[in-house]
Amino acid sequence: MNLDGMLADLEELVVCESYSSDHDAVARSARVVAAMGTRMLDAKPETAVIGGVTHLRWTFGTPRVLLLGHHDTVWPIGSLRDHPWSVSGGIARGPGVFDMKAGLVQLFHALASLPSPDGVAVLIVGDEELGSPTSRPLIEESAAACEAAFVLEASADGGALKTARKGVSRYELVVHGRAAHAGLEPELGANAGVELAHQVLAIAGIADVVESSSRAGLVSVTPTLMSAGTSSNTVPAVGRVAIDVRVPDARAQARVDELMRALTPRTPGTRLELIGGPNRPPLDASASAGLFEVAGRIADDLGMGSLDGVSVGGGSDGNFTAGVGCPTLDGLGAVGGGAHAPGEHVVVAEMPVRARLVAALTSHVLSGERAR
């Protein structure tokens, strides 16, 4: 693996900003990624635009291995001004460098190093940071017939692989009330803001109920973005809150959903509207156990030393591949840290090392040694 070439490719991806919510930016990024993959793999991808979002897929023969990643980032357009691309002291920095543009570079270089890509599918989606609302069918379709999915998401601390992930649910609760003048006749209103406060407290207590009733443990139900009202002298007619849910297993995910749908209003004249539901199923450790064992042996053979595997709270598209029964190993991408934050960075010396690991894992499955 040529580190200088990998860094040149990484710079090309990072300086092409790809904020998930900006479809034009994601389309520009897809063109850059497609050109890079075409150059390295000597094949053009299938381009799928779904709901305005651009995804890329390469298919070589009958796929048995899926290499999976995303090219969108959480960084708004213009973030390069404050967080420019740089490489200094063996550290690369820039928006999306760790999550997960370095992983894409490693993916292409790993696959290009094999004698043939036959038996491999590559899927790079454009909306992972939004929960993959348009790409989920592509992911599940691509993974369903494969013997292994390798997810080039960034590693956990110290380069650890991600052997389990929590399931993710996303909701928005909308409170509908009735507006009135706050000074002249507040009694004629139905205060959606007051009702929202009641509901936020109720929602915040759901995790305790699920943990105590099912012994699930490690459940989080977190009210996040919230708003109510239109002016300071008007009884709020509408309030809303977003809720982020993380669960360790499918039973806990279903129980949280049941409790969310059982919420009832306490303020007369208000009503509740619940939007959303389970987004990503949990990635259970059993889905990665066999592949993680193989990765450990390969790492020893490559002189990488021992590999750690950890369970993490964040979801990825690996949740979907595991959910359709495809053995999945996640966190094979960059080593570094600071995802979604100003300190986002990649340890550049690890890039060729991780690419060799992915190449060897892919070769292992293609050789016929299954890891179920």
Of the given ranges (18-32, 200-214, 239-253), which has the lowest mean pLDDT?
Answer: 200-214
Q: Is residue 371 part of a domain?
A: no
> pTM above the 0.85 mark?
yes
CA angle 297–292–353, rounded 5-degree value: 60
Tell me the two tokens of residue 292: 């993680």
Using pLDDT thresholds of 50, 70 and 90, give the confidence band for residue 65.
very high
- Tell me the residue type at 1: M
**Share of residues in the chain with pLDDT > 90 (%):** 95
139/87 same-domain check:
yes
Residue 261 pairs in a beta bridge with none
Using pLDDT thresholds of 50, 70 and 90, give the confidence band for residue 217.
low
Q: Is the pLDDT of residue 370 over 70?
A: no
288/331 same-domain check:
yes
- Whole-angstrom distance, CA of residue 364 vs CA of residue 361: 5
The pLDDT value given to residue 204 = 96
- Tell me the residue type at 209: V
Question: Which residue is it, tokens 């016929």?
Answer: 368
The pLDDT value given to residue 1 = 79
Contact 258, 300 (CB under 8 A): no
Distance (Å) of CA 224 to CA 200, 231, 263, 321: 9, 22, 17, 28
142/56 same-domain check:
yes
167's CB contacts (< 8 A; 6+ apart) are 246, 247, 248, 249, 250, 252, 253, 278, 280, 281, 282, 283, 315, 319
Tell me the two tokens of residue 104: 């894409």
**Secondary structure (DSSP) of 208-227:** HHHHHHH---S-EEEEEEEE
Q: Is the pLDDT of residue 214 over 80?
A: no
276/135 same-domain check:
no
| Phi, psi of 211, deg, nearest 5 | -65, -40
195/294 same-domain check:
no
As a whole number of Å, the end-to-end CA separation of the chain is: 29
242-249: average pLDDT: 95
244/286 same-domain check:
no
Q: Is residue 243 part of a domain?
A: yes
Report the sign of the C-alpha dihedral through residues 33, 75, 103, 70, in that order: negative
Q: Is the pLDDT of residue 246 over 50?
A: yes
20/76 same-domain check:
yes
70-92: average pLDDT: 97
Neighbours of 160 (CB within 10 A): 15
Using pLDDT thresholds of 50, 70 and 90, give the confidence band for residue 211.
confident
199/114 same-domain check:
no
224's CB contacts (< 8 A; 6+ apart) are 241, 242, 243, 244
69/160 same-domain check:
yes
pLDDT tens, residue by residue, 124-154: 999 999 999 999 999 999 999 999 999 999 9
The pLDDT value given to residue 336 = 97
- The residues annotated with a catalytic role in the active site are 72, 128
Q: Note down the domain range covering 258.
A: 167-280
89-106: average pLDDT: 98
Q: How many domains does the chain have?
A: 2
Q: Is residue 272 part of a domain?
A: yes
159/258 same-domain check:
no
